[in-house]
């Protein structure tokens, strides 16, 4: 399976979530937090069940994590933000897991890969 989200031709919506874990967020510290890993896996699975979900891409290193989720439109992305179980995870993220983060909601207008337009 491709690590890339299988997004259609634009337009669609991207939610860019950039985060720094508490305690510096180092990879080896993260392994000591099964609660975080369980939540993270559960959120990926739950997002994939939502209406309008297109896919997700995620990369994490010692200093920063970036997860980009893709949605058919801003309304679908906004609905995912309000899913009850996700609200609980967001609160725990703010209180415990993340020392800081940014969320940016953006409308994709153009996409391409090595072979040209996606």
> Can you tell me the distance from the alpha carbon of 21 to that of 25, in angstroms, rounded to the nearest whole number?
4
- Residue 106: name the closest of 8, 11, 40 by CA: 11
59 touches 66 (CB < 8 A): yes
Which residue's CB is nearer to a copy of itself, number 46 or number 118? 118
- Please, which of residues 22-41 interact with a copy of itself by CB under 8 A? none
Which residue's CB is nearer to a copy of itself, number 20 or number 46? 20
| Position 1 contacts a copy of itself (CB under 8 A) | no
Could you tell me which residues are beta bridge partners of residue 77?
A: none
102 touches 18 (CB < 8 A): yes
Single out the residue of 46, 50, 60, 86 in contact with a copy of itself (rule: CB under 8 A): 60
Q: How far is the CB of 54 from a copy of itself (least distance, A)?
A: 11
Single out the residue of 46, 72, 83, 111 in contact with a copy of itself (rule: CB under 8 A): 111
107 touches 13 (CB < 8 A): yes
Residues within the interface to a copy of itself (CB under 8 A): 2-5, 7, 10, 14, 16, 18, 20, 57-61, 63-66, 68, 74, 94, 98, 100-114, 118
């Amino acid at each position: 399976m491709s690590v890339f989200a299988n997004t259609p031709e634009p337009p669609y919506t991207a939610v860019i979530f950039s985060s720094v874990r508490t305690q510096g967020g180092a990879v080896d510290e993260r392994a000591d937090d099964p609660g975080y890993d369980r939540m993270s896996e559960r959120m990926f699975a739950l997002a994939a069940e939502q209406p309008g979900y297109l896919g997700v891409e995620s990369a994490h290193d010692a200093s920063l994590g970036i997860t980009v989720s893709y949605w058919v439109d801003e309304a679908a992305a906004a609905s995912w933000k309000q899913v009850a179980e996700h609200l609980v995870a967001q609160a725990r993220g703010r209180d415990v897991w993340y020392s800081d983060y940014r969320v940016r909601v953006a409308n994709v207008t153009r996409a391409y890969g090595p072979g040209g337009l996606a």
